[in-house]
Amino acid sequence: MTKWVRRRYLALKVVSEQPVNERDVMDAVWNAVLKLFGEYGASQANLRLMEYDPQRNFAVVRCSHTVLERVRASIASITEINGKPAVIHVIGVSGTLRALRKKALT
Amino acid sequence: MRRFVDLHLRAPIKDLDQVERMVRKSSELGYRLVGILLPPSVTRDQINQLQHICNDAKIDLVTRVNFSPKTPRELLHNLRRFRRKFEVISVTCTSKGVARQAAKDRRVDLLHFPATNLRKRFFDHAEAELASKALSSLEIEMAPLLLLTGFLRIRLLSRLRREVAIAERLKVPVTISSGATNEYLIRGPHDYAALTTLFDMAMPSALRALSENPLAIVERNRAKLSPDYVAPGIRVVGRKSGD
């Protein structure tokens, strides 16, 4: 029997001096995870970008629930995107996309 | 609900726009109290201006001063002069003598050690024992963790892991603060808690280090600085008028 994979969805707010696209955001997140936890750690994260709104600089990322704190630490350690000062704040975490949208909007 | 505290914003108090941006960001991220690092020579007017900015952002201001004395004697002199002027006093320990004096002096709230010069991080068992008796708290600044890279960050993490383990064993309260110089270095309390897992701090301890521990320092000092305070456990509850 296949084990049910538990996931966590993170709502992110990107603050940067220049406009950034979804690729820049995911590159920054992947690089931060790689830097802090290496390739083995990154392979456990199951990171995936679910949605990105460039107007509001709002992104939703999915990861495995066992590595949530690691992913959060990696995201917090980002200080620049494309060589410009930037920060990514986690504004909400949830087990389902629907609950996350509700939480992030309120 | 937890009240999160950031006791160390290194905001340039001459640039009030920058202070306002940092205070607003802190408030937005869920902090309810912020400690702004002030020079010992700060005037009442400057504090009032900062108070005004904090009130607008619906956040409580804590006045904080940091001393980096070269000798224990200089530290005692500074404490005598400034203890009653500021709500929080931290000491950057640059020598073992200063570190020991700061740890055993009840007027010192936070023990702070340089992040880049690991030879000057004197937080060992002896230091922790003194700090535990005097209710001093070990301050861990998060900005260097964000700014350092490579080998320097590895060494800092390793040292922090050791210090946190000693502090936990000897029951020295740990306080986590941002040490941010601009709004790009401020993170939310839960993000800081996640970062502390890098040096093996348990999540409940990390959340305590961001809320209860700094809050206890501020409340204790505010009570002491109030005119009704007499001695530990004794305070004036009423005054007779007329005589």
What is the predicted ipTM? Answer: 0.91
Residues of B in contact with A15 (CB under 8 A): 184
B149-153 long-range contacts (CB < 8 A, ≥24 apart) are: B149/A35, B152/B116
**C-alpha to C-alpha distance for A41 and A67, rounded to whole angstroms:** 9
Q: Along the 243 residues of chain B, how does pLDDT read in single tens digits? A: 889 999 999 999 889 999 999 999 999 999 999 999 999 999 999 999 999 999 999 999 999 999 999 999 999 999 999 999 999 999 999 999 999 999 999 999 999 999 888 888 889 999 999 999 998 999 999 999 999 999 999 999 999 999 999 999 999 999 999 999 999 999 999 999 999 999 999 999 999 999 999 999 999 999 999 888 888 888 888 888 765
Domain boundaries defined on chain B: 4-226
Of A75, A8, A65, A11, nearest to A37 by C-alpha is: A75
Q: How far is B210 from chain A (nearest CA, A)?
A: 16
- CB distance from B128 to chain A under 8 Å? no
- List beta partners, residue A94: A9
Nearest CA in chain B to A84: B184
**C-alpha to C-alpha distance for A94 and A60, rounded to whole angstroms:** 11
Of B146, B149, B188, the CB nearest to A90: B188
* 3-class secondary-structure state, position B229: strand
Domain boundaries defined on chain A: 7-105
pLDDT at B117: 85
**Amino acid in the structure at residue B217:** I
pLDDT at B242: 63
pLDDT at A102: 85
Residues of B in contact with A75 (CB under 8 A): 191
Q: How far is B199 from chain A (nearest CA, A)?
A: 11
- CB distance from B145 to chain A under 8 Å? yes
Rounded to two decimals, the pTM is 0.92
**C-alpha to C-alpha distance for B13 and B42, rounded to whole angstroms:** 9
Residues of chain A falling short of pLDDT 70: 1-3, 105-106
Which fold is adopted by the domain A7-105? Alpha-Beta Plaits (3.30.70)
Residues of A in contact with B188 (CB under 8 A): 89-90
Residues of B in contact with A90 (CB under 8 A): 188, 190-191
| Alpha carbon A54 to its chain's center | 15
Angle of the B96-104 helix axis to the B72-82 helix axis, nearest 10: 40
Contact at 8 Å (CB) between B113 and B87?
A: no
CATH 3.30.9.10 describes domain B4-226: no
List the alpha helices (DSSP H) in chain B.
16-28, 44-56, 72-82, 96-104, 125-134, 143-147, 150-169, 189-196, 203-210, 212-225
- The DSSP string of A4-50 is PPPEEEEEEEEEESS---HHHHHHHHHHHHHHHHHHHHHHHH--EEE
